[in-house]
């Protein structure tokens, strides 16, 4: 009897442990999940590991099967397809050193969220939003035009296996494309494509559209799309936006004659000053965007874009998940400094590092944006035990 009871207890413990493991590692239909963010950010690091080391097995989480890697498409874009527990994952590459990849970022004029892009006389009809005033980033929309056929083919291939749950992810430019690709797929004219379930994790993403687009996207993708950023990373702040409200509103006029309300003249003066630079800002955006457009059309491919939108005011999506900034390692510029007899007397902090930062390497401007640092940052925040066991807390090539 005791043996049977012991066996039963052991069996229940195994079942409970397995269930807990499954719950932690499976992808949920809705909501932000720390384990999902961790695993997807690891996949985003695949491109870095392939570029630096020629192999990405070290960073790919277990049980994620890489099914497909595209060639370089359009403006040096690329994507990978993974399968995990009957879920298809589309992983879009971020910016590269290629000229066209940066032209894609700089082509920051806006086009209407519905329209047609022609590439060598082939028409790409797109629908990123239903609101008439919604507008999106021209360069990223053009990238989706180049990528769409190949991605749709892979979605249909997985659909033949009974896979209709997809997670779309990417870092930096790849994160922007992930959000815009999601918008394209949920409005696609093919009902089989539209009926699939899509969940999105963007990391360090630039902004992709105006306020109307952002509001509609978030309303439709609530609890299904997340933008993970480090506030110290400058890239998510681009392209810039400015105050789109009236300088003096009707409420402000009422406040002038209402003793219980404060008009805030100082704030309004600041708003006015911002408005003074609004036109030069818009002109700069258009100049850079049109320059990028001309450069792209100087190539072998003829591109015809829709007429530009008047709007250039980019807005962040409301689904921001903020993680702490990344610590830069304390690395001495010259280890010989330790041999200096005076070094033992110099002030040190609680970790034993010299207080004088001049002895150490300075943090490069790109440090807070590096994909591997996002991965390490997520581990440190959500999985401290995994962070402590991590063999590489930073990539030497990034410092």
State the average pLDDT over residues 301-312.
90
In this prediction the pTM is 0.82
Q: Where in the chain is the domain with CATH 3.40.50.1820?
A: 27-239+296-328+364-398
Greatest mean pLDDT among 118-132, 235-249, 263-277 lies in 118-132
- Chain segment 204-214, per-residue pLDDT in tens: 999 999 999 99
- On the question of pLDDT at 271 being above 90, the answer is no
In the CATH scheme, what is the code of domain 27-239+296-328+364-398? 3.40.50.1820
pLDDT band at 190 (very low <50, low <70, confident <90, very high): very high
* Percentage, residues of the chain above pLDDT 90: 64
pLDDT band at 57 (very low <50, low <70, confident <90, very high): very high
Lowest mean pLDDT among 33-42, 64-73, 262-271, 298-307: 262-271
**Rounded distance between C-alpha atoms, residue 101 and residue 79, angstroms:** 14
State the average pLDDT over residues 153-173.
98
Lowest mean pLDDT among 10-24, 206-220, 352-366: 10-24
Q: What is the pLDDT of residue 16?
A: 41
- On the question of pLDDT at 116 being above 80, the answer is yes
Of 333 and 386, the one with more pLDDT: 386
């Amino acid at each position: 009897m005791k043996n049977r009871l012991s066996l039963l207890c052991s069996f229940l413990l195994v079942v409970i442990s397995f269930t807990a493991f499954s719950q932690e590692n499976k992808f949920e239909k809705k909501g932000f999940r720390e384990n999902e963010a961790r695993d997807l950010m690891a996949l985003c690091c695949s491109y870095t590991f392939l570029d630096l080391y020629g192999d990405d097995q070290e960073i790919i989480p277990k049980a994620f099967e890489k099914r497909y890697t595209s060639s370089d498409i359009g403006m040096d874009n690329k994507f990978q397809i993974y399968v995990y527990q009957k879920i298809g994952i589309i992983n879009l590459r971020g910016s590269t050193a290629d000229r066209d990849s940066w032209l894609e970022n700089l082509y920051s004029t806006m086009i209407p969220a519905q329209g047609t892009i022609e590439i060598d006389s082939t028409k790409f009809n797109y629908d990123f939003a239903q609101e008439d005033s919604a507008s999106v980033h021209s360069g990223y929309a053009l990238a989706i035009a180049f990528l769409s056929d190949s991605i749709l083919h892979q979605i249909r291939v997985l659909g033949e296996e009974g896979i209709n749950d997809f997670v779309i992810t990417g870092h930096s430019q790849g994160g922007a494309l992930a959000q815009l690709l999601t918008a394209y797929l949920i409005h696609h004219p093919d009902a089989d494509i539209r009926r699939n379930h899509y969940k999105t994790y963007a990391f360090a993403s630039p902004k992709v559209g105006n306020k109307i687009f952002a509001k509609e996207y978030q309303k439709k993708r609530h609890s299904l799309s997340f933008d993970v950023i480090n506030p110290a990373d400058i890239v998510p702040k681009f392209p810039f936006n400015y105050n789109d409200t009236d300088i003096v509103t009707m409420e402000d006029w009422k406040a002038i004659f209402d003793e219980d309300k404060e008009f805030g003249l100082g704030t309004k003066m600041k708003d006015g000053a911002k408005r003074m630079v609004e036109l030069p800002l818009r002109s700069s955006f258009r100049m850079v965007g049109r320059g990028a457009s001309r450069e792209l059309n100087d190539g072998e491919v003829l591109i015809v874009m829709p007429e530009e939108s008047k709007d250039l005011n980019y807005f962040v999506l409301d689904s921001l998940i903020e993680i702490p900034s990344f610590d830069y390692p304390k690395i001495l510029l010259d280890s010989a400094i330790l041999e200096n007899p005076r070094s033992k007397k110099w002030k040190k902090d609680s970790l034993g590092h010299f207080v004088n930062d001049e002895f150490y390497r300075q943090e490069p401007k790109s440090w807070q944006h590096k994909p591997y640092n996002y991965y390490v940052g997520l581990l440190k925040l959500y999985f401290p035990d995994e962070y402590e066991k991590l063999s590489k807390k930073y990539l030497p090539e990034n410092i």
